[in-house]
Chain A
Amino acid sequence: MKPAPFDYHRPGSVAEAVETLAATGGKVLAGGQSLVPIMSMRLAAPVALVDINRLPGLSEIEVDGGRVRIGALVRHRQLEQHEAAYAANPLLRRALSQVAHPTIRNRGTTVGSLVHADPAAEMPAVLALLDGSVGVVGKTAGERTIAAADFFVGPLESALQSDDLAVTATFPTPPAGTGSSWIELARRHGDYAMVGVGALVRLVDGAVESARVSLISVGLTPVVVEVTETCAGAPYDRVDWQAAQDAIVAAIEPEGDIHASAQYREHLARVLSARALQQALDDGAAKEAA
């Protein structure tokens, strides 16, 4: 469990980092919580690591009326504990508290998790649920913003090119009256979820205005399902999630593995979706009441 030889670079600017990525074909090292283990197991043997930990200006969390924007070096734990980010969008903390364990959240970066694009990871699903985006600087493709819907291409595959560096992620704040929730079920506390569901439900005048969910571990990427049609207009104390559950189950493609069969995952997606939607509804109702 020792990595194969690799070159190590520690650029001092984003421009230099992107140049180095292009010149070496290396991998970005940020928190290292996924990359370092797979290198140690020699499942990956990048020729070079480009350590971005000394890059200035990427450790900031900005919260304004419409969004929470984080730099590429913001650790999960930093965002989880950020009060202004929580006040703007409680879903971030709710999901982040389920990301692995505190020791991993202390080092692991949220943007790193997005780029890793694991379909079992929480934060890609949150970004997708919120219609967020990733800010990218690339040697070939230049500076640009990639919407979540275009960012997650496949399992462990993002839209980034090899000479791209993701520098920010932007989580839009849902409109007023929107409740949110995150629920997941893992074999052990902190493990990758067998199924996880994030939900947003917006209430207007005591009735459901919109609802959508984002699921993990039931497809090749996070699966976002718009379920507004199944429940719009329902008064908040009389919502039946049955149709939403049917729509969600129709949209997912769960596979079985050693921890959960495909049928069980489908069942969990159904059960947890209703729980998540109800929790988001209750959250929205509480906000409306307040």
Chain B
Amino acid sequence: MTTKLFGQRVPRVEDPRLVSGQGRYLDDLGHDALAVAFVRSPHAHARITDIDVTAALDVDGLVAIYTYDDLDGRMAEPLPLLIPHPTLTQGRTPYPLANGEVNHVGEAIAMVVATDRYVAEDAAGLIEVSYDFLPPVVGVEAAREAVDLVHEDVPGNVAATYMQETGDAAATIAAAALRARLQLSIERSASMPMEGKGVHARWDDDDKSLLVNTSTQTSTSVRQAIAAKLSLPVDRVEVVTPDVGGGFGVKIMHPWPEEVLVPWAAIRLGAPVKWVEDRREHFISSAHERGQLHEVEFGYDEDGVLLGLSVEFWHDHGAYTPYGLIVPIITSTQLLGPYKPRAYRVEFHSLYTNTVIVTPYRGAGRPQGCFVMERVMDYIARDLDLDRAVVRERNFIQPDEMPYDHGLIFQDGRPLIYDSGDFPASMAMLKSLVGWDEFVAQRDAARREGRRVGIGLACYVEGTGVGPYEGGHVRVETDGTVVVSTGLTTQGQGHQTMLAQIVGDELGVPVDRVRVTTGDTRRFKYAVGTFASRTAVMSGSAVALTARKVRAKALRIAADALEASVDDLEIVDGRVQVKGSPSAQIDLSTVAVLSNPLRYAFDDAARRATQFAGRADPTKPPVDPGDEPGLEGTDYYSPTQSTFANGMHAVIVETDPETAEIKILRYCVVHDCGTVINPMIVEGQVHGGVAQGVGGALYERMEYDASGQLVNASFMDFLMPYASEVPSIEIDHLQTPSPLNPLGVKGAGEAGVIPGSAAIASAIEDAEGFPITAMPISPSELFALRAEHPAPSRRAP
């Protein structure tokens, strides 16, 4: 038997290329293309009274300037509202270029096309836009007060209000022995991929076809969106993603204005056109996430069992709602984590503000929900003087309660039913990994030395592998290469390796014989995209099912050639052989040759498949009825519901008693994503997620001033953690396989980021002795909190 690849630490096949500068990103394409720069609004809220391009027209190298008035057909309509929801009664989306009004700093007003980007920026700088200023609405509280409106026809700035309830939360809380209220908030951050967005479009006027490269997380849907917007037949549009330097959610949003404007201009100008987003543009015109204010009321008993939970929260949705209500719906449902309150009511209000739009960023509403639930758990523990881990254990859903139906509707419109997980086992693993039970003695010893250390923990459950489906295509070439294609896209996660491991196992070939293509609509037309930690679950399952079909066909052809029974055959190292007598064997490459009867012999392999060679039963057609030439197959995986991964983090921090610096001493992760395909890749995903979790907890925030200017729109002032700020991460895996898919896998991509703010807040609270109710927290803010909580009022250590 070939060494099993599934579950092994197979080195990433994409790395030698990516780390040696051989990657091919959007800006590596189209060196001769015309370049685009945008005139973007410097104001958060204004009516455009005039756009004067006169001065720009003299710039040498200028090709075209477009404003809203130039847009025709469906391009003159607002961009689509991608994910409608019955409660999103006041959905608003922007126009590709502003139509008389701007609603956030950075909204595109004019598109400048020139011979290169320098010239395009020169010309853009000479376009004069006149404005009538409108009052900006910045922040959740201003939006909620609604003294001013973002969209004058949307009362109260409310895009949607959505409520779900199981049981009677109000009555359950009222009847509880103990009750409390908390107000909890999380600030904005953003995906911040190393590579921003970018679009390159070529129009073939003879063929009347369009080829678009875009740095996206969904090529198939961008293709459909471009065809729709540009009124082109879908079969005349192809979208190919080059290497993508990170997405983290911001590139699942589509079509971005630039994704339709660049192809539109390429057709109009009959020339290739390219736009590459710069960092400032990314800050002010891509998407943010996380900003939410939560009011929480809960009732519990003396044992620390959470009885009733009622959460109302206000979601800062930014200026428009093109991605629907996905983020707040996820918060509202995933907030429950591994716990089972008897009654739960959640109501959210999606509010417009004059800021950059909000769409999912890795974790997608879960970090906020986890923060809320875990603050509640810590509150109960503190109030009852119970161990925080014990309180959690008393509230866990038990393994024998799986599948567990929460009685709510999840983001995919399907019931929120957990399929698997063993939360008590995960907690036991985490406590052992971090040394939970020993920590109190360590903490007290540190305190005697004048040091402040604290431990925190947080648990989450993550719905992953959201449908509706993904597909795979697998073909064995006549040289024995296995080519695999799936329609979703890749942004550096290691999909090529992971999918090659799955296919390699099914077809009995080594990883280096498998070539994987993603995100190329010329190769695979039907797909959804890369988001919701779904690639291993969805495309992994799809290519596994496909490879099994191809394997069955290979065995059938080989059985014929070897005059053996299919049941007696196995595939080892790329050869089909009779079990127990490996001398009777045939190369998979030869099977591929035999699968495709030929008339023409264009090479040595082909000669073996021509009509005067190979099988020559003149009574049968060369291709049997119902069969197809070629050793290939296509299949799809479509689950009834999402699969639910989970994890628990524990973190030890030290805070400086004088300077209020916050230092992470240890960061421990227990992670359950079901069966692990490649532990190294999963750990890499967790590491990256934790780094973003640390960023969201201690460093990152979007600093909008009252006028709606983003004052820290650069990497100098928006503080993503460096390697020097990210702790070394200790990981243990628990594997509870999902019963929902053929591989038993659950998603792993977003996991690491989810409990960061919750766990770190818990640890700081433990070190300092007063509650932490808002994240992120900086040393300056911790210093201010200390002043509000003078030592005597703090909980005794």
Give the interface of A toward B (CB within 8 A).
Answer: 1-5, 41-42, 185, 187-192, 194, 258-261, 263-264, 267-268, 271-272
Contacts and interface: CB of A to CB of B under 8 A. Distances in A.
B780 interface: yes
B648 to A, nearest CB: 27
Interface in B708-748: 711-712, 714, 716-717, 719, 721-722, 724-725
A188 B125 contact: no
Given A2-B118, A258-B712, A272 B719 contact: no
A264 B784 contact: yes
A188 B719 contact: yes
B117 interface: yes
Contact of B117 (A2, A42, A264): A2
A271 B658 contact: yes
B106 to A, nearest CB: 14
A4 B725 CA distance: 35
18 contacts: A1-B279, A41-B714, A42-B125, A185-B659, A187-B699, A187-B779, A188-B719, A188-B721, A189-B725, A191-B719, A192-B716, A258-B717, A260-B778, A261-B783, A263-B783, A264-B780, A267-B783, A271-B658
Contacts of A42: 121, 125
B661 interface: yes
Given A4-B121, A187-B699, 20 more contacts: A1-B279, A4-B122, A5-B118, A41-B714, A185-B661, A187-B719, A188-B719, A188-B724, A189-B722, A189-B725, A190-B724, A191-B719, A258-B703, A258-B712, A259-B780, A260-B779, A264-B660, A264-B783, A271-B658, A272-B659
Contact of B780 (A190, A260, A272): A260
Given A189-B724, A259-B778, A4 B784 contact: no
Contacts of B794: none
A5 to B, nearest CB: 7
A41 B713 CA distance: 11
Contacts of A267: 783
A5 B122 contact: yes
A271 B121 contact: no
Contacts of B783: 261, 263-264, 267
Given A187-B719, A188-B722, A271 B659 contact: yes
A188 B778 CA distance: 11
Contacts of A271: 658-659
A192, A263, A267: most-surrounded residue (chain B CB, <10 A): A267
Nearest to B722: A188
A268 B725 contact: no
Contacts of A189: 722, 724-725
A188 B699 CA distance: 8
B280 interface: yes
B278 interface: yes
Given A185-B661, A271-B658, A271-B659, A194 B780 contact: yes
A104 to B, nearest CB: 12
Interface of B: 117-118, 121-122, 125, 278-280, 658-661, 699, 703, 711-712, 714, 716-717, 719, 721-722, 724-725, 778-780, 783-784
Contacts of B725: 188-189
A185 B780 CA distance: 11
Nearest to B281: A1
Nearest to A185: B659
Contacts of B722: 188-190
A261 B661 contact: no
A189 B780 CA distance: 16
A25 B719 CA distance: 36
B280 A1 contact: yes
A187 B778 contact: yes
B711 A1 contact: no
B125 A4 contact: yes
A41, A187, A263, A271: most-surrounded residue (chain B CB, <10 A): A187
Contacts of B711: 258
Contact of A1 (B278, B699, B779, B784): B278
A57 B110 CA distance: 50
Contacts of A272: 659
Contacts of A187: 699, 719, 778-779
A191 B779 CA distance: 15
Contacts of B712: 258
Contacts of B658: 271
Contacts of A259: 717, 719, 778, 780
Nearest to B714: A41
Contacts of A188: 699, 719, 721-722, 724-725
A159 B186 CA distance: 45
Nearest to A189: B724
Contacts of B724: 188-190
Contact of B121 (A2, A190, A261): A2
B78 to A, nearest CB: 29
B219 to A, nearest CB: 27
Contacts of A3: 118
A259 B661 CA distance: 13
Nearest to A101: B722
Contacts of A258: 703, 711-712, 717
A242 to B, nearest CB: 14
A164 B714 CA distance: 31
B658, B717, B780: most-surrounded residue (chain A CB, <10 A): B780
Contacts of A185: 659, 661, 779
Contacts of B721: 188
Contacts of B661: 185
Contacts of B117: 2
Contacts of A260: 778-780
Contacts of A4: 121-122, 125
A135 to B, nearest CB: 31
Nearest to B705: A258
Contacts of B778: 187, 259-260
B116 to A, nearest CB: 8
B122 A261 contact: no
A260 B722 CA distance: 19
B113 to A, nearest CB: 15
Contacts of B717: 258-259
A260 to B, nearest CB: 4
A108 to B, nearest CB: 14
Nearest to A270: B658
A164 B117 CA distance: 33
A117 B661 CA distance: 28
A272 B779 CA distance: 14
Nearest to A45: B125
A53 B569 CA distance: 72
B595 to A, nearest CB: 53
A267 B784 CA distance: 11
A260 B783 CA distance: 10
A259 to B, nearest CB: 7
A109 to B, nearest CB: 19
Contacts of A1: 278-280
B280 A268 contact: no
A272 B658 CA distance: 9
A41 B280 contact: yes
A266 to B, nearest CB: 10
Contacts of B699: 187-188
A264 B779 contact: yes
Nearest to A272: B659
A273 to B, nearest CB: 12
A41 B117 CA distance: 13
A259 B711 CA distance: 12
A261 B780 contact: yes
Contacts of B118: 2-3, 5
Contacts of B779: 185, 187, 194, 260, 264
A4 to B, nearest CB: 6
A267 B779 CA distance: 12
Contacts of B660: 264
Nearest to A262: B780
A261 B782 CA distance: 11
A263 B785 CA distance: 12
